[in-house]
Each structure stands twice: as structure tokens, then as C-alpha cells.
């Protein structure tokens, strides 16, 4: 029997993912696709409120995406647990988990602060698109979940696409434009759904 040395152990740990790599790829893709449903829900809500009450209190409207974000997080976390997969593959330290939770709290707090400062200037839909795009890109770049290379690059591409859409919306649309909600709904559905389904089908 060949000797089991440190290098062999490192190779084994690295390659262990190949056993269920396809399942993880599909779960990553479906996770992105789930966000392709949660994000348009935010903008549909904006459209409904916009039609009912206009943009009165648009600072508060700038926060409307937060509960949808938390709901998406709850659904995707449940999906990973339902597939009996740990995420990431090598369990993180308790300290890292707390840092991750702290990072979310800080990011959400920052989003609330920015919403109160800027949402009424660019319009709540554009602000929400910029916030979601920025948060998505940062999370994909930092990659605490140690995603597959394909999944990571797709998530970065989706984040950049959402942020770029937010910039275009902020520049091209008036803060109270009725077109902002449909544009946001379409863009936030197409980018994550296309990327997520592509990854899930390709696995």
C-alpha cells in the first residue's frame, strides 16, 4: 500500500469535492436562481407601492428591499440544509461565523444609512438596485462560502450587472419615474435566473 503522506492528504481534501461536486454546482446554481425570484419581488413591491402612494416617504422605500433580502437568505439557507450539504465544505471556525454575521449586520446598517441619505435623490428603485448590486458583488468577491470557480465568477458577473443597471437607472430615470420598477424587476430577474440556471444545468 502506498505511503499516505501530507501531500496525498492535501490532494485528497482538495479532491473530496469531486464526489458531490455536481450536486454542489447544482445547489449553487439554484441558489442564484432563487435570488432571481426574490429580487424581482422587491421591485414588484416597489411598483405596487409606487402606483398606490407615489414616492412619498421615499427614504423608507429605500429600505423596502431589506426584508426580501432576509427572506431570500432564509430560503437559500434552508435549501442547502435540505440537500444535506454543508456550506462551505470545510466547516468554518466559530470566530469566522461571528465575523460573517457581523459583516451582514454592518452591511445592512450601512445600507439603511445610505438609504436615508441618498434614496430620495436617485429614487428608491435605483437605490435598491445599486445596494443589491454592490452587496452581491462584495459577497461574491470575498466568497466566504468558498464557491466553485464557475459559481464565483457567475455571481461576480451578476453583481456587476445589477450594479451597472442601478447606475443606468439612477442616471437615465427621474427619481419618481414609473418606469423604474418594471426595469428593476426585469433586470433583477434576468441576470440571476440566467446565471443560476446556466450553472445548474451545466453541472
Partner 1 sequence: MSLDPVLHQEARLRIVALLARNRLASFGFMRDALDLTDGNLGAHLQRLEQRGYVVSRRVLAGVSFRVRYSLTQQGSNAFRLYAEEVARILEGARG
Binding site for partner 1 (CB under 8 A): 4, 6-10, 12-13, 16-17, 19-20, 24, 81, 84-86, 89-93
Report the SS3 class of residue 145.
Answer: coil
Based on its alpha-carbon atoms, the radius of gyration of the chain, rounded to whole angstroms, reads 19
- Shortest distance in whole angstroms from residue 22 CB to partner 1: 12
Q: Residue 135 in contact with residue 150, Cβ under 8 Å?
A: no
Could you give the C-alpha distances from 180 to 104, 122, 128, 149, in angstroms and in order? Answer: 27, 11, 11, 33
Angstrom distance (rounded) from CA 178 to CA 74: 30
Residue with smaller CB distance to partner 1, 24 or 26:
24
**Closer to partner 1 at the Cβ: 8 or 51?**
8
* Least Å from the CB of residue 79 to partner 1: 13
Cα-based angle 73, 183, 105 (whole degrees, multiple of 5): 30
User: For residues 59 and 152, which CB has a smaller minimum distance to partner 1 in the complex?
Assistant: 152
**Dist. CA 42–CA 69, nearest whole Å:** 9
Cβ of residue 24: shortest distance to partner 1, in angstroms?
Answer: 8
How near is the Cβ of 9 to partner 1 at its closest, in Å?
A: 5
Residue 15 vs 57, nearer CB to partner 1: 15
Nearer to partner 1, 19 or 52 (CB): 19
Q: Least CB distance from residue 16 to partner 1, whole Å?
A: 4
Structure-block grid coordinates of residue 192:
440571476
- Residue given cell 464565483 in the structure block: 152
Amino acid at each position: 500500500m502506498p505511503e499516505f503522506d501530507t501531500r496525498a492528504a492535501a490532494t485528497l481534501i482538495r479532491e473530496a469535492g469531486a464526489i458531490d461536486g455536481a450536486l454542489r454546482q447544482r445547489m449553487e446554481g439554484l441558489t442564484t436562481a432563487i435570488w432571481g425570484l426574490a429580487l424581482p419581488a422587491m421591485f414588484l413591491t416597489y411598483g405596487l407601492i409606487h402606483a398606490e402612494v407615489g414616492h412619498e416617504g421615499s427614504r423608507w422605500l429605500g429600505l423596502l428591499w431589506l426584508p426580501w433580502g432576509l427572506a431570500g437568505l432564509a430560503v437559500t439557507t434552508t435549501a442547502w440544509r435540505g440537500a444535506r450539504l454543508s456550506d462551505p465544505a470545510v466547516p468554518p471556525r466559530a470566530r469566522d461565523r461571528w465575523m460573517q454575521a457581523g459583516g451582514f449586520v454592518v452591511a445592512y446598517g450601512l445600507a439603511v444609512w445610505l438609504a436615508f441619505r441618498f434614496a430620495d435623490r436617485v429614487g428608491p428603485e435605483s437605490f435598491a438596485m445599486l445596494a443589491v448590486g454592490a452587496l452581491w458583488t462584495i459577497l461574491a468577491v470575498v466568497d466566504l462560502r468558498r464557491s466553485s470557480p464557475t459559481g464565483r465568477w457567475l455571481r461576480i458577473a451578476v453583481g456587476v450587472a445589477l450594479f451597472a443597471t442601478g447606475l443606468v437607472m439612477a442616471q437615465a430615470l427621474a427619481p419618481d419615474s414609473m418606469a423604474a420598477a418594471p426595469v428593476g424587476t426585469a433586470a433583477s430577474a434576468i441576470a440571476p435566473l440566467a446565471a443560476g440556471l446556466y450553472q445548474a444545468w451545466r453541472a
